[in-house]
């Protein structure tokens, strides 16, 4: 079984939380029993999360050797220029080493669900949207990459993993997909 879930902002990619006060987890969304997240999405990121009860499938979905590209829509602070986009495309050097080359393009603001809480709007600071497709998945990688080129991330939404897309799923909704 493979489940596509649209993870809302502020939800942890686990079913329990021992912190006080407890934070929202996957347990509150009526998911089938015995599934777990195949990969992670930070609590302050939104969008597609795949879940399965099949350990082998989870490994194939998350292991970089199987090259499941992950596509993100990223709202950044600032106006990206061609040098910044070229740096993202070539790969940037982070504190844990260089990233692999990335597909990076500026896009029009996508039609997305409202985020709660909303991204802070500042009249004097422009923002823009990028689409990034990565073949690896390090901790907070997209945020670190955009910051490294001078474009801090304001909102991060994963829209696809391989051929599975979040299209048509409201935040907190899920559906079965063919593995």
Q: Which positions are catalytic?
A: 42
Q: What is the rounded CA–CA span in Å between residue 79 and residue 161?
A: 27
For the beta carbon of residue 126, count every other beta carbon within 10 angstroms: 10
User: Which residue from 55, 16, 59, 62 is spatially nearest to 41, judged by alpha carbons?
Assistant: 62
Residue located via tokens 């709007």? 121
Taking a C-beta distance cutoff of 8 angstroms, is the pair 164, 49 a contact? Answer: no
- 3-state secondary structure at position 113: coil
Pairing of strands 2-7, 46-52: antiparallel
């Amino acid at each position: 079984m493979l489940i596509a879930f649209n993870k809302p902002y502020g939800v942890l990619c686990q079913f329990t939380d021992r912190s006080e006060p407890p934070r929202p987890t996957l347990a509150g969304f009526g998911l089938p029993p015995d599934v777990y997240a195949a990969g992670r999405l930070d609590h302050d990121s939104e969008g597609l999360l795949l879940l399965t009860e099949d350990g082998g499938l989870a490994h194939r979905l998350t292991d970089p050797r199987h090259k499941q590209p992950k596509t993100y829509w990223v709202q950044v602070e600032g106006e990206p220029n061609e040098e910044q986009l070229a740096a993202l495309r070539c790969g940037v050097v982070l504190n844990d080493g260089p990233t692999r080359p990335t597909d990076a393009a500026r896009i029009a603001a996508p039609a997305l669900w409202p985020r709660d809480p909303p991204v802070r709007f500042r009249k004097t600071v422009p923002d823009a949207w990028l689409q990034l497709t990565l073949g690896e998945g390090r901790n907070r990688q997209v945020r670190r990459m955009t910051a490294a080129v001078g474009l801090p991330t304001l909102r991060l939404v994963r829209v696809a993993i391989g051929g599975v897309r979040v299209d048509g799923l409201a935040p907190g909704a899920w559906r079965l997909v063919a593995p």
